[in-house]
Amino acid sequence: MYCRNCGKEIKESSVFCRYCGAQVRRLPEQPEPQPSAPEPADAPPRRKTRGVVIAVAVVAIVAVVGAAVGGVMLARDRRAQQDELQAAQEQLEQAQADIAEAQEQLEEAQADAAQAEQDRVQAEQERAQAEAAAQQAEQAQDSGSDVRRQAEAELTRVEAQSAQLETLFDNARDQSELNRYSGELFKLWDDEINVLWGHLEDAMQESDFDALTEEQVDWIVDKEAAIDKAGSEVSGGSMEPMVRSLTGYEWTRERVYYLMDYLP
């Protein structure tokens, strides 16, 4: 292509001559720009909207995390409250058990105190009876022979002691006490018959005493047989000592009154 103004050769795509500057081709018409649709006046910028969305998302995340943490804390608090409630319930039950035990102990103590007072009153009554019996024994010494008066006084004293032991036996609370008081009764009268036997030896003629001695030996054999027979009926049981002692007591007490008739 050549410039129409200076005649020099130029490129086919040239619009102006590079040598003389003359315009060798029209410029292509540029389309007028189409105006874009105006944005609403109250629409926030897109960047600002994105920031708001991010902020809302952050707040939502924080809220969710806070709710989760709060739920965990609430569950932990509820569990702690339940543990405290259970501990309080156990303490209450223990306190109630302690109160019941204390009440039971108080009732037992009151019962023991009442029994002790009853025993004290009964002991005073028995002591008064023993003193009266002793006075009667002293009065009985004014009649009869010296040996007989002494034997009667001793027998009166033994009867008073026997009455006390019989009362204790009747009010015994267990088998152990029954065995104990029955044994003491037997011993009391066994000692008395030995004392009485000494008085008989002093007061009786020798021949009469010898005959009574033979009879006494036979009686002892019969008494021991009766004791063994009664004991065999409850052999090995907790009642055996009581049964044996009561049998011996009854035989011996009856024998004492029988022998008293031999005193002049």
User: Range of 127's domain?
Assistant: 58-140
Identify the domain boundary among 140, 158, 192: 140
Question: The tokens of 122 are what?
Answer: 């009964």
Q: Are residues 85 and 190 in the same domain?
A: no
Q: pTM (2 decimals)?
A: 0.48
Q: Is pLDDT of 32 > 70?
A: no
Distance CA 21, CA 16 (A): 5
Q: What is the mean pLDDT of the chain?
A: 85
Give the total number of structural domains in the chain: 2
Residue 36 is assigned to a structural domain of this protein: no
Q: Are residues 134 and 162 in the same domain?
A: no
Residue 248 is assigned to a structural domain of this protein: yes
What pLDDT digit, counting tens, does each position of 47-75 carry? 556 666 677 777 778 777 777 777 777 77
Q: Are residues 127 and 187 in the same domain?
A: no
Q: What pLDDT, on a 0 to 100 scale, did the predictor assign at position 35?
A: 59
Identify the domain boundary among 112, 140, 168: 140
Question: The tokens of 70 are what?
Answer: 């709060």
In one-letter notation, the amino acid at residue 163 is A
228-253 average pLDDT score: 96
CA angle 76, 81, 82 (to 5 degrees): 95
What pLDDT digit, counting tens, does each position of 212-238 carry? 999 999 999 999 999 999 999 999 999
Q: Is pLDDT of 20 > 70?
A: yes
Identify the domain boundary among 121, 140, 159: 140
Q: Are residues 123 and 145 in the same domain?
A: no
